[in-house]
Amino acid sequence: MGESYRATDATGIEIHLKQPAERIICLTATGIDVLAELGLDPVGYLSQGIADRPEFYGEHAQQFTSVGSWMLPNPKAIRNLQPDLILGWEFPHRFYQRWLRQIAPTYLMSGSGYNAALARLRDVAQLTGRTTEAEAAIQQLETQLETYRATISTHQKKTVLMMGGSTLNFLSRRFIVETNVGTAGSLLQELTHYPWIEPAGQRMEPGLMTVPLDRILQVNPDVIFVQTYPPSVAPLPQQLANQSIWKRLKAVQTGQVHEVEQFWHSGNGTRIMQVILNQLMPIIYPEQVSQIQNS
């Protein structure tokens, strides 16, 4: 039986459990996405995070014991909960993996985008005996994607940008753009013209790059989604309102600049991907999505 409860994490460590994990501590938002999809509750989670959002556990998350912050997990709190599996992220938790693994087997995650999300969900499903639930969640997402693909023909594809930044980006004139391997970008490249390709040898977090406004103007997207990051005195589109290049953008002139939630960058999982699709597609393709909803 124990043979089926195996997975290899992002650091190359193989985890082998004799029985499916039940008492799980989660140190990452992506782990919350995975556990929610598998129908499992963590016994411990971060003092601040996404678990209490309605897309995940809502008020039920108040029952999860706090085990510190993402950057500084609390060893005593984790040990006291006697977990049989810990879910973390490669950075920063690889720096803590020695003492984490002394407490319980620890699966560290990394990577962004669609394929990484599916692989990670299947790994944790193996460790928890929940492969049926994982495949059902994957099927739901793939069906949703296929429905959009079938409705949006190639000639209808709009050019889209997912960008973000803070007042610091406004001052430097370089903005954070999600690439085609990011959580939202990997979906958008399937359903839109999304020409923001991950650069080779990139130094930033995978799935993100910085782009100047004149490069954005060269592409001139039909629709721009914006996430405003701290420290910011106002939403990024407001900060950019008087910029001459910004004002020349087609999306600005046609009122197709939309502020979206920053929490999407907190995790990369199949549930958050469905949230992204449900929120973005009606904005990008209102007529086609209306057809889907009415059919």
My answer on whether 135 and 165 are in the same domain is no
Per-residue pLDDT at 2 exceeds 60: no
Distance CA 285, CA 267 (A): 25
SS3 167: helix
Distance CA 146, CA 224 (A): 23
Note down the domain range covering 251.
152-260
142 CB-near residues (< 8 Å, 6+ apart): none
58 CB-near residues (< 8 Å, 6+ apart): 52
Task: Name the pLDDT band for 289 (thresholds 50, 70, 90).
Answer: confident
My answer on whether 108 and 239 are in the same domain is no
Distance CA 113, CA 270 (A): 10
Query: Which residue in the block uniquely carries the two structure tokens 């997912």?
Result: 162
Per-residue pLDDT at 136 exceeds 70: yes
250 part of a folded domain? yes
Mean pLDDT of 240-269: 91
My answer on whether 104 and 16 are in the same domain is yes
My answer on whether 17 and 139 are in the same domain is yes
My answer on whether 49 and 134 are in the same domain is yes
Q: Report the CATH number at residue 169.
A: 3.40.50.1980
My answer on whether 198 and 122 are in the same domain is no
pLDDT of residue 3: 57
54 part of a folded domain? yes
125 part of a folded domain? yes
**Helix, strand, coil fractions of the chain, as percent rounded to 5:** 50, 15, 35
Per-residue pLDDT at 155 exceeds 80: no
Per-residue pLDDT at 1 exceeds 50: no
49 part of a folded domain? yes
Over residues 53-81, the pLDDT tens digits come to 999 999 999 999 999 999 999 999 999 99
Task: Say if CB 210 and CB 180 are below 8 A apart.
Answer: no
Provide the number of structural domains found in the chain: 2
Over residues 8-44, the pLDDT tens digits come to 999 999 999 999 999 999 999 999 999 999 999 999 9
Of 86, 116, 112, nearest in space to 206 by CA: 112
Over residues 265-285, the pLDDT tens digits come to 667 899 999 999 999 999 999
Beta strands across the sheet bearing 160-165: 208-212, 174-178, 160-165, 223-228, 257-259
290 part of a folded domain? no
Where is average pLDDT lowest: 91-95, 218-222, 251-255, 286-290? Answer: 286-290
